[in-house]
């Protein structure tokens, strides 16, 4: 009797360990997978999938002949409801500043770096310990970080300030375009990579391993505050250069003076910042933040309204009461008639049908795509995309990146949903900012 009981228990255990289908040999997938719901990202708006006619909805006033109308489809994504503000970008700048400070301190005070994991295994390179507080009254601390401050001879009225030239951020990304080429794939017959890639210097090198597809760059993250003066000849904009980025009065204004490369670095940092927090809490990571493609930007700007000239759907820049609907240059020499001379607080005007603010005017916005006059001709009709990682020695024409939406200093033509323009990737302007998108992460929950 006891023998029969033991056999029954063993059979019950074995049958229970084979999943709900009893291990009958059917394809059931991996068991134990949790249901996943993607939470709404803070400050972002959901843009549903759809197709639209991409391109101009009016005559080509400039006769540039660089766009045509083309039906394309984009997948769903999240988009920042406003442009990135000074205060939001400042969080990035402060993180870079504090990370540099902690790494310097970690060379003398081990509490600022984590060199071993919970199991005692070494971490190389060591991670920053953000839990250790910095005591600025400690002479050891002040002596160690004094190199981050301006040299006394460079100080204005002897003020001790951080040297913004030292706010350098190192970031990485994977070049999927080169990695996806058939000739660059791993050869399982020869047990090696047979292809070649182009390195940062523009030289072809034989692929050794996956590291050849991982690109890295170091960039200064502080905005170009002098762009307010440099952009305009014989124009008094010194107050904006002195105050715009750091003063609390401009916290909710769109950040400007940020190059395409700096905006890209911000997106990578934002991804790592969020996913790092999610992993520490035991949660799953999400898709990467990035600049929108040109198609995503235009689709979002139209707000689901077919053939709309402007994000608000009409063909005029005033409402029924005669008030302007965006911050731009409405009249010759008259910047103030729309309510703002230069930039305004984000969200000062009504949003479009999808809840996105300032998709026309205020500041123009970087897109991730490279600019090419014939780009509409050769890009795909599904998630159109054209990316080129320009090298320092490339011709300037190869460094052009798409900007969209028009700005406070532009005439209404550039505010149209279908009008495209460009700026060079290393340029910083007082009228160009950006916002991020994040691809929608599919949910397996029912």
Q: Which single residue is written with the structure tokens 């323009």?
A: 421
Query: Can you point out the beta strands (E) in 56-185?
Result: 70-74, 77-80, 113-116, 122-128, 168-174
Average pLDDT of 217-240? 96
CB 434 within 8 A of CB 80: no
% the chain with pLDDT above 90: 60
Average pLDDT over residues 187-209: 86
Q: Compute the average pLDDT of residues 32-48.
A: 88
Lowest mean pLDDT, pick from 148-152, 324-328, 341-345, 434-438: 148-152
> Which contiguous run of DSSP H or E holds residue 105?
helix 86-106
**Highest-pLDDT range among 16-30, 105-119, 147-161, 398-412:** 398-412
Residue-wise pLDDT tens digits, 326-366: 999 998 889 999 999 999 999 999 999 999 999 999 999 99
pLDDT of residue 65: 66
Highest mean pLDDT among 1-5, 33-37, 102-106, 122-126: 102-106
Q: Other C-beta atoms within 10 Å of 402: how many? A: 25
Overall average pLDDT of the 173-188 stretch: 90
The per-residue pLDDT of the chain, averaged, comes to 89
pLDDT tens-place string over residues 244-301:
999 999 999 999 999 999 999 999 999 999 999 999 888 889 999 999 999 999 999 9
For position 63, what pLDDT does the model report?
Answer: 65
Question: Is 0.85 surpassed by the pTM of this model?
Answer: yes
Ranges assigned E (strand) in 34-167 = 44-47, 50-54, 70-74, 77-80, 113-116, 122-128
Dihedral Cα 436, 439, 441, 446, nearest 10 deg: 110
3-state helix, strand, coil in the chain (%, to 5): 25, 20, 55
Res. 64: pLDDT tops 80: no
Model confidence band, residue 44 (pLDDT cutoffs 50, 70, 90) = very high
Which pLDDT belongs to residue 14? 46
DSSP calls for 110-126: GGGEEEE-TTS-EEEEE
Calculate the CA dihedral of residues 77, 81, 82, 87 and round it to 10 degrees. -90
Whether 1 shows a pLDDT value over 60: the answer reads: no
What pLDDT, on a 0 to 100 scale, did the predictor assign at position 273? 95
pLDDT confidence of 59, banded at 50, 70, 90?
A: low
Instruction: Indicate whether 186 pLDDT > 50.
Output: yes
Q: Is the pLDDT of residue 17 over 60?
A: no
Exposure string over 373-396, b if 16+ CB within 10 A, otherwise e? eebbeebeeeebbbebbbeeeeee
Return the top range by mean pLDDT from 104-113, 191-200, 352-361, 382-391.
Answer: 352-361
| pLDDT (mean) for 201-209 | 84
**What is the average per-residue pLDDT within 51-75?**
79
Residue 28's pLDDT is 84
52-85+223-446 in CATH: which number? 3.90.1580.10
Q: Kindly tell me if the per-residue pLDDT of 13 is higher than 70.
A: no
pLDDT of residue 398: 94
By C-alpha distance, which of 160, 202, 169, 181 is closest to 99?
169
Q: Give pLDDT tens digits for 364-374.
A: 999 999 999 88
- Residue % of the chain over a pLDDT of 70: 91
If pLDDT is split at 50, 70 and 90, which confidence band does 158 have?
A: confident
Among 38-52, 201-215, 423-437, the range with the most confident prediction by mean pLDDT is 423-437
Sequence ranges of the domains in the chain: 52-85+223-446, 89-149, 168-220
β-strand partners of 116: 122
Q: Residue 346's pLDDT is what?
A: 97
Q: Band of the pLDDT at 61, cuts 50, 70, 90?
A: low
Angle between helices 86-106 and 260-280 (to 10 degrees): 70
Question: Considering only 74-88, 119-133, 209-223, 269-283, which range has the smallest mean pLDDT?
Answer: 119-133
């Amino acid at each position: 009797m006891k023998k029969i009981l033991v056999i029954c228990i063993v059979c019950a255990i074995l049958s229970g360990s084979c999943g709900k289908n009893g291990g009958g040999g059917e394809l059931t997938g991996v068991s134990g997978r949790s249901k996943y719901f993607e939470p709404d990202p803070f400050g972002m708006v959901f843009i549903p999938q759809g197709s639209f006619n991409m391109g101009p909805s009016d005559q080509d006033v400039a006769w540039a002949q660089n766009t045509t109308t083309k039906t394309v489809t984009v997948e769903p994504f999240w988009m920042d409801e406003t442009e990135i503000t000074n205060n939001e970008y400042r969080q990035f700048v402060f993180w870079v500043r504090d990370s540099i400070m902690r790494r310097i301190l970690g060379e003398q005070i081990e509490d600022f770096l984590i060199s071993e994991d919970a199991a005692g295994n070494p971490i190389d390179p060591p991670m920053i310990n953000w839990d250790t507080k910095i005591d600025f009254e400690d002479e050891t601390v002040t002596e160690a970080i004094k190199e981050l401050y301006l040299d006394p001879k460079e100080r204005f009225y002897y003020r001790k300030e951080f040297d913004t030239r030292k706010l350098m951020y190192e970031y990485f990304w994977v070049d999927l375009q080169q990695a996806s080429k058939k000739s660059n794939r791993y050869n399982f017959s020869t047990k090696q990579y047979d292809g070649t890639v182009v390195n940062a210097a523009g030289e072809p090198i034989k692929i050794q391993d996956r590291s050849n597809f991982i690109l890295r760059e170091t960039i200064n993250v502080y905005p170009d505050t002098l762009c307010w003066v440099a952009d305009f000849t014989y124009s008094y904009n010194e107050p904006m250069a002195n105050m715009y980025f750091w003063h609390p009065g401009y916290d909710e204004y769109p950040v400007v003076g940020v190059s395409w490369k700096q905006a890209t670095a911000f997106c990578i940092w934002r991804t790592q910042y969020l996913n790092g927090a999610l992993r520490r809490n035991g949660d799953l990571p999400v898709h990467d933040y990035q600049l929108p493609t040109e198609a995503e930007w235009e689709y979002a700007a139209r707000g689901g309204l077919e053939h709309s000239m402007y994000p608000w759907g009409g063909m005029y820049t005033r409402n029924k009461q005669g008030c302007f609907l965006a911050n731009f240059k409405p009249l010759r020499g008259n910047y103030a008639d729309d309510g703002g001379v230069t930039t305004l607080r984000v969200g000062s005007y009504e949003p479009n049908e999808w809840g996105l603010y300032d998709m026309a005017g205020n500041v123009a916005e970087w897109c991730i795509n490279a600019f090419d006059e014939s780009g509409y001709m050769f890009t795909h009709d599904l998630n159109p995309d054209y990316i080129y990682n320009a090298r320092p020695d490339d011709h300037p024409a190869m460094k052009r990146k798409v900007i969209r939406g028009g700005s406070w200093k532009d005439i209404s033509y550039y505010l149209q949903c279908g009008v495209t323009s460009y700026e060079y990737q290393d340029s910083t302007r007082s009228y160009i900012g950006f916002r991020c998108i994040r691809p929608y992460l599919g949910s397996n929950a029912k």
